[in-house]
Amino acid sequence: MMMVTMLHALGKSDLLGMLGADLPIGGWITWILEALSISAVNVFMLLSGYYLIHSKFKLVRLFELIFQVFFYVIGSLLVFVVAGKISLKSLTIYDALQVVFPVHMEVYWFITAYVVIYMLLPILSGGVKALTEKQFRITLICLLVYECAFKSVLPVRLTTDTRGYTFFWYVIVFLLGAYFRLYGFRFLTNSLRGILLYGLATLGCLAELFALALIYLHTGRLKDMLRVSMDYNHVFTLLAAVGLFVTFLHAKPMGQKAGKLVIRLAPYALGVYLLQESLPFRYEWQNWFGLNGALAKSLPELLLRLFAAVLAMFVLGILADMVRALLFSLLLKLCRRKDKDACTT
């Protein structure tokens, strides 16, 4: 989630300039940070496939997730209305639809993809377990070639290429995580191989990015392909995610204190994403830390602003979701008490 926050800090400000001779050192550093973080979303879905493949679909969990989304969609809007930054009279029908149907309107594109996948969990889980390992492997290879391989090598944008922003790509990554859970990683059997794969894939992202930038600057061609290596469904991004996942899967256990802290914070991590990507906040919080225009600052100041923004938004998101969880818990207790009183009466 810290990596996701870094992506939003970089991508929703002007910190990712055109690679070339005129780009300051800070611009090169920000692109390195982008490449190091771009695998985060795929890691989330690998985790989902790895763990959910042995879980049962729970309607209550689906409702909890949707209500969590409503909390941030409505809550962030109310905050900006009370602060006087948004007028209710200025809201359009489209804005109203985003509030009423946030999943269908893709207010959070990842949540939309995740909700669809979760609803498909009984079919995905049952289908995967009905296949032999060979059948599952062949199916995965075909899907990866279709959605990932072609777009990673062709110098054109394919009509069906959504850059990994739809549920179809994350169904594939989910299935990949499920395959790893059921049959293992074969050649990726230790953390050293995992971190090596992550590092090499990240270098591949940067090398392709730089090469395409040079071609564009000298020929004016391939403009639409400049950031293709940073797409979620690019082979380098996927391999980096697999490498990072394997690194932690085979890593030595954390110390007891660190482990307890991670377990304590993990349930609230999604709130970090939901807060910072809520519609009113999405392009606002970067300005709180002066990220727009920060490339003109000295490198130490740029990095200080950037990492302060990432850390602050992570902490703020965790605290906000703790409040949300507390409110939901109190509301649930109140509803149960009313039901109990009604039954007694």
Number of structural domains (the chain) is 1
- For 217-228, the pLDDT digits (tens) are 889 899 889 999
Nearest-Å Rg of the Cα atoms of the chain is 22
pLDDT of residue 345: 61
Domain limits at 329? 2-344
Q: Are 318 and 262 in contact (CB under 8 A)?
A: no
pLDDT of residue 337: 77
pLDDT of residue 142: 97
**CA–CA separation, 62 vs 291, rounded Å?**
36
Contacts of 327 (CB under 8 A, 6+ apart): 71
What beta strand segments (E) does the chain contain? none
pLDDT of residue 254: 84
Q: Which helix (H) or strand (E) holds 307?
A: helix 299-344
Please state, for a pLDDT cut of 70, what percent of the chain lies above it: 97
Q: Model pTM?
A: 0.92
Amino acid letter for position 283: Y
- For 61-92, the pLDDT digits (tens) are 999 999 999 999 999 999 999 998 888 888 89
- The two three-digit tokens of residue 48, written as one number: 């989902």
Ranges of residues in the chain whose predicted pLDDT is under 70: 21, 339-345
Q: What is the dihedral of CA 262, 264, 267, 272, to 10 degrees?
A: -70
